[in-house]
Amino acid sequence: MNEARPVILHLEDAHQAYPDQGRMRTVLNDIDLKVRKGEFVTLLGPSGCGKSTLLRLILGSERPTQGRVLLDGKEIQGPDRDRGIVYQKYSLFPHMTVLQNVIFGLEMENYSMASRWLKRHKFLRHRKASTDRAREILERMSLGKDLNKYPHQLSGGMKQRVAIAQAMIMEPKILLMDEPFGALDDSTRTDMQLFILELWERTQMTVFFVTHDLVEALFLGTRLLVLSQYYTTARDHNEGSKIVTDRGIPGDHPKPTSFKSSPEISQLIEQVRQQGLDPSIARHIHDFDLSHADAYRTVDPEEWGPTP
């Protein structure tokens, strides 16, 4: 990666805890992270480790119980148009057509409900421009024939493409995706992976992609994060997930499809599995693989223990 690119996302000592049976249960324990513009970060982890929680912190729909989450150096206050999101479910507004879904963001922009009527003329011109733009994008996603369909008339893959278009048209600083292809069948999934890679390459956007599929994470990303609750420290009892792996993914970006069946990937998969996905192989905090150039962490002396 080009080290000169600016840091766009910065998490510092982020903790997240939820009330659970009368006490606070930590889900994210001391997350430190720096992401640069243009990176394709894939986040992997066992089910329930807090991947979606971490994404919600970056989205801003939740604030960390401790620590800070910064976008371009400014603390994130709530969801806004700087971060786009694509979910696995509820990805589209069911009462809007494909076209309406995609132009929704542009329509909201610049025009409050009142000024939409007061400046009717300008608004209509603006909407015409938005429609043309949405059409063009959907055209390129080969959805040109489905502009006036409702979401329930689309296949899973089409829905996700529309959802991506809906988020992308706003040109967010970061595109957040929470297992967006999790519900798709294998071949549609591969199509969608190629699609998002092509989009990433063309737009140079920053992507934060949550998945629980190892192959998907290694195939798509430039950088791999593994979040895991399976690790040991100098303490007897640990609670909440940490980033146990933060590494670059070797090879070209984007990768050829053949990478998915190459010997390289099987080797990587084995490594990553041992680093955090397998509950029976809990790593010690000293041995986390934080080999990425931007990886950093602040350590708690109590967890770190006496330095040997």
Partner 1 sequence: MGLFNLNARPGRKTAWALSSMLFLLCIIGYGVTAHIRHQENPDDNVVPTFSEMWDGIQRTAFEPDRNDELRLWVDSLASAKRLGYSLALLSLAILLGLYMGVFPYLEHIFLRFVLFFDKIPALALLPILFIVFGLGEISKIALILLGVFPTIALDTYLRAKAIPREQIMKGLTLGASDFEITYRIVLPQIMPGVLDTIRLNFKAMILFLIAGESLAASVGLGYRIFVVRRYVAMDIIIPYVIWMSLLAFAADVLLRIWIKKRYRWVGGES
Ligand X SMILES: Nc1ncnc2c1ncn2[C@@H]1O[C@H](COP(=O)(O)OP(=O)(O)OP(=O)(O)O)[C@@H](O)[C@H]1O
Burial of residue 225 (CB within 10 Å: 0-12, 13-18, 19+) is buried
Binding residue for partner 1, selected from 35, 85, 177, 217, defined by CB under 8 A: 85
Q: What are phi and psi of 31, to 5 degrees?
A: -90, 125
Site mask for ligand X (CB under 6 A), range 18-37, x = bound: x--------x----------
Q: How far apart are CA 216 and CA 44, in angstroms?
A: 10
Shortest Å, Cβ 40 to partner 1: 19
Q: Does 203 bind partner 1 (CB under 8 A)?
A: no
Q: Does 52 bind Mg ion (CB under 5 A)?
A: yes
Query: Which one of Mg ion, partner 1, ligand X, none is in contact with 85 (Cβ closer than 5 to 8 A by kind)?
Result: partner 1
Q: Does 193 bind ligand X (CB under 6 A)?
A: no
Q: Does 228 bind partner 1 (CB under 8 A)?
A: no
Residue closer to partner 1, measured from CB, 107 or 303: 107
Q: Which of 180, 242, 174 is nearest to 211 (CA)?
A: 180
b/e per residue 260-296 (b: at least 16 CB within 10 A): eeeeebeebeeebeebbbeeeeebebeebbeebebbe
Binding residue for ligand X, selected from 5, 12, 13, 52, defined by CB under 6 A: 52
Q: How far is CA 289 from CA 38, 215, 229, 294, 297, in A?
A: 22, 19, 15, 12, 12
Residue closer to partner 1, measured from CB, 121 or 152: 152
Window 101-160: residues binding ligand X (CB under 6 A): none
Burial of residue 188 (CB within 10 Å: 0-12, 13-18, 19+) is middle
Candidate ranges 42-50, 64-72, 112-120, 198-206; the one touching ligand X (CB under 6 A): 42-50
Name the site residues for Mg ion (rule: CB under 5 A).
52
Contacting positions for ligand X (CB under 6 A): 18, 27, 45, 47-53, 212
